[in-house]
Structure 1
Amino acid sequence: MSRIPDASIIHSRLRLRQLRLMLALEELGSLRRAADEIGMTQPAATKMLHEAEDLLGVELFERLPRGMRATPFGETLIYYARMIFAELSGMREELVALESGNLGRVTVGAIPALASGLLTRTIATLKQSHPRLSMSIQVDTSDVLVQALQQDQLDVVLGRIPSGARADDLQFDSLGEEVLCVVAGAHNPLAKAKKLTWPELQNMTWVLQQHPSPMRAIINQTFHNARLDIPSSIVETTSIMTLLSLLQQTDMIGVTPLSVVNDYPGRHLLAVLPVQIGPRLPPYGLITRRHRVHSSAMQTFMAAVRAEQLKLPSEG
C-alpha cells in the first residue's frame, strides 16, 4: 500500500514555505545555505524538511558527506514546485494588469505560415476589441516553439506538435490542415511548365526550413518516396519573407503552404509549380500545457484565433 497520502491531505498540509525550501536546497545543495536564502535558522529548516518528508511519506533529499541531493521523489516535487511558483507569478502579473485597467499579457509562439496569415488577422481583430491586451510574438518552427512552451517561456503555440516531442503534458486543439505546394518566381523557366516530375526538380536550388520541422520532413520523405537523393543545393530559412524574396530574385524554388501564396500581396510575382507533394502536413492548432491554468489574456487570445479560423475557407 502506498505511503503517499491522498491529494486532499497534501492540499491542506503542504506549505508554500516548504516548497521554497526545496527549491533553495536543490539550487544550493546545502541546508545551511538554503536556510539563509529563505531567512530561517538551520534547525528550523531541518525540521521543515523532516515535516515535508513525513507528510509525503518519502525521502526527498539524500544526505551526502558534502551537502544534499534530491532523490527521484524530490526531483518530482521540485518540478511541480517550479510550476506552482510560475503560476503564482503569472497570477500576480494578471492582478497588476487588471488593477491598471489592462486585460493582461499573452506570449505567443507561431510557425511562419500562420504568423503571416491567421495570427496577423487575429491580432488586427483583437486590437480593435481589446486594445489594452499586451501580446508578445515569437516566430519559429514547431520544434523550437513547443520546447519553449514546455519551459514556460510561452503561454500558447500556434503550430503543430513535432513528431519527437514529449506530448503527454501538451493539450492540442486542432484548427485545420494546410496544403503544401512547390513555388517559384513567376520569371522562373519552370513557371510555364504544364507538368513536372521530382527528378526534374532535384538539381534545383531549394529554399527549405531546417530539419526537423514538419515541412522539411515531408519534402525529405517526398524525395525518398521518389527514390531520389535529397537535393544537394539547399538554402535553409524559417523566414517566409526571405523565402519569397529569394524566389523573386533568383531561380531557386521553395515549399510553402498554399495559403501563404494566396495571401501574398505580390501573388502575381509567384508561380505554383505543377507537381504533387504526397505526404500531408499534420493538422495545426493551439498548443498549451495540459495542467496550466489559462489566464484571461490566454483565453481571450485563443477564442479570437478560433473565431478568425471560422472565417477562413477550408483548404481540405
Structure 2
Amino acid sequence: MRLTHLRHFTAVAERGSLRAAARQLGIAQPALTRSIQEMEHELGVSLFERLPRGVALTPMGQAFLRRAAAVQNELRLATDEIAQLRGNMTGQVTIELSSAVQMALLPRVIAPFRRKFPDVYLTLREGAFPTAEGPLLEGAIDFYVGPMPDIPQGGELVAEKLFDNTRLVYGRKGHPRAGARFLHELADAGWIRTQVSVDPSSELTNIFQQHGLAPPRVEMTGASTMAIILVVAHSDLLTMLPKQWMEFVATRELLQPIPIAELLPAPPICIVNRARLPLTPAAQFLADLFRRAAGYQMRDETRVAGL
C-alpha cells in the first residue's frame, strides 16, 4: 500500500464524495475509484458504503481512518523534523491551549517563536484536554497546554506541571452582588459555565459542595472565551474562571472580580505531549517558550502577592 492510497482514502473520507475528493486532489474520478478499490482489495474489506449521494465510511473504514491519519501525521512530522535539523526552518506546528493559557502565557511566546521560526506555520486551537487527547495521540496536535488532566503514568501521553492555579468569581461591572465576600452570598445567583469537560457543571458543583452549599443554578454554557465574557458583561450571570482571565484586556474592561474569601482551587496548568516520540525542533522550541513563560508568570504572581 502506498502513501498515495492513504491520501486518496483520507480525502474521500473527509469530503464524503468521490467526485469532490477527486476535485480536491486534482485527479480524475476513475483514477481515484481504482485507488480505493485497490485498497479495499488489499485489505479484504469494504472501506466505504456507496450511497445515492456520495459515500460513507463503514465500521472498518472508520477504524482504518484513524490509522491512516496517524501515518500521514507521522510522515509530516518526520519530514518537518529532518528539514529543521538541516537548517531549513519550515513546516508546521499545531497546539491546543486553554483560555487561561492564551491570556497568561501566549503573549510572552509568540514574538520569540516568530523570530526563531518565521516560516513555520503555527495553528492555535482553543480547548481543554478532552478535545485534545485524540489528536495528540494521532500526531495531529504537537502538544497541549492547559488544566492538568487525569492521565495514567507510563501511558502514551506525559503531563508536566507548569504552575498551580486558582479561580476567581467574575461578574459585570456594577453587578448587584459585587459586594459579596463569601460564597454563600452567591448561592442563589445564576451562573454560566465553561465547556471544559464531559460534565463542566460538576466543577462548580464540587466547589459549592466543599463549602457545604447546594449546587449553584447553572443557566448557560459558554463554548468560547469571548462568548462567556460577553454574556457575563451583559447579564447578571456570574462565572468562575482561572485568575489569569484578569490579564485579558477585554475582561478587565467589561468584568470585575468579586473578592470571595474562600479559596477557589483550579487544576494546575501543565503541558502534555506524547511520551515516546520527540517533538520537532520547532515544536520543542515553542514548548520550551511556554515553560519559560510559566516561570515568569509564577515570579510575577509571587512579586504581586508580596506587595
Query: TM-score, normalized by length of structure 2?
Result: 0.68
Q: 1:147 is matched with which residue: 134, 141, 144? A: 134
How far 1:208 sits from its partner (Å)?
1.0
Q: Is the 8 A contact 1:184 1:191 kept in 2?
A: yes
Any unmatched runs of 5+ in structure 1? 1-15, 25-32, 46-60, 68-78
Q: 1:244 is matched with which residue: 209, 229, 238? A: 229
How far 1:184 sits from its partner (Å)?
0.9
Match of 1:293 in 2: 278
* Bigger strand share: 2
Task: State the distance in 2 between where 1:307 and 1:274 align.
Answer: 30
Matched, 1:197 2:180: no
Q: Is the 8 A contact 1:172 1:288 kept in 2?
A: yes
Q: Supply the AA of the counterpart residue of 2:270.
A: G
Deviates more, 1:106-115 or 1:269-278: 269-278
Q: Supply the AA of the counterpart residue of 1:209.
A: T
Deviates more, 1:262-271 or 1:201-210: 262-271
How far 1:147 sits from its partner (Å)?
3.1
Q: Is the 8 A contact 2:168 2:241 kept in 1?
A: yes
Q: Per the alignment, do residues 204 and 279 of structure 1 end up closer, same or farther by CA in structure 2, a change over 3 Å counting?
A: closer
Matched, 1:303 2:279: no
Task: State the distance in 2 between where 1:280 and 1:111 align.
Answer: 16
How far 1:197 sits from its partner (Å)?
3.2
Task: State the distance in 1 between where 2:233 and 2:194 align.
Answer: 18
How far 1:170 sits from its partner (Å)?
1.0
Q: Is the 8 A contact 2:167 2:264 kept in 1?
A: no
Q: Supply the AA of the counterpart residue of 2:183.
A: T
> SS in structure 2 opposite 1:311?
helix
Q: Per the alignment, do residues 126 and 211 of structure 1 end up closer, same or farther by CA in structure 2, a change over 3 Å counting?
A: closer
> SS in structure 1 opposite 2:226?
helix
Any unmatched runs of 5+ in structure 2? 10-33, 46-65, 303-307
Q: Per the alignment, do residues 183 and 85 of structure 1 end up closer, same or farther by CA in structure 2, a change over 3 Å counting?
A: closer
Report how many aligned residue pairs link the two structures: 256
Q: Supply the AA of the counterpart residue of 1:197.
A: L
Match of 1:177 in 2: 164
> SS in structure 1 opposite 2:130?
helix
Q: 2:194 is matched with which residue: 200, 209, 214? A: 209
Q: Per the alignment, do residues 82 and 160 of structure 1 end up closer, same or farther by CA in structure 2, a change over 3 Å counting?
A: same
Match of 2:105 in 1: 118
What is the root-mean-square deviation in Å for CA atoms of aligned residues? Answer: 3.9
Task: State the distance in 2 between where 1:290 and 1:277 align.
Answer: 37
> SS in structure 1 opposite 2:93?
strand
Q: Per the alignment, do residues 272 and 189 of structure 1 end up closer, same or farther by CA in structure 2, a change over 3 Å counting?
A: same
How far 1:135 sits from its partner (Å)?
0.6
Match of 1:223 in 2: 208
Percent identity of paired positions between Structure 1 and Structure 2: 20
Task: State the distance in 2 between where 1:226 and 1:91 align.
Answer: 51
> SS in structure 2 opposite 1:230?
coil
Match of 1:134 in 2: 121
Task: State the distance in 1 between where 2:196 and 2:205 align.
Answer: 9
